[in-house]
Amino acid sequence: MFLRLGRLFRTMGREILVLWYACRNPETPAVFKIAALMLGFYVISPIDLLPDWLALLGLTDDVAILALGIPALLRMMPAPVLQQAHAAADRLMSRSRAGSRS
């Protein structure tokens, strides 16, 4: 179970990074940038469907929104923007892996 959770967090972290680079691209339509910003605001907002102070339950709505929202945004992103964002994220992740091995 913990192995699957770790894999989920690593995957989600990579997808967040790809979304970050895609939103920084000037070719990304403003609608996607606004949607990504709203997604981020929901996650950090103190107003949630389930309050964050509820043990584990409070985080499930945030994780569910991220797990559904990020892939949906990336699927609708223009292909050239998405390819550039994936390449930038891969470069950053390979640098961080190489630095951790040293």
Backbone conformation region of residue 53, classed left if phi is above 0, alpha if psi is from -120 to 50, else beta: alpha
Specify whether the CB–CB gap between 22 and 75 falls below 8 A: no
Domain boundaries, the chain: 12-94
Residue keyed to tokens 């910003």 = 37
pLDDT tens per residue across span 9-67: 666 788 999 999 999 999 999 999 999 999 988 877 777 776 666 766 777 777 788 88
pTM of the entire structure? Answer: 0.77
Q: How far apart (Å, rounded) are the C-alpha atoms in residues 12 and 43?
A: 14
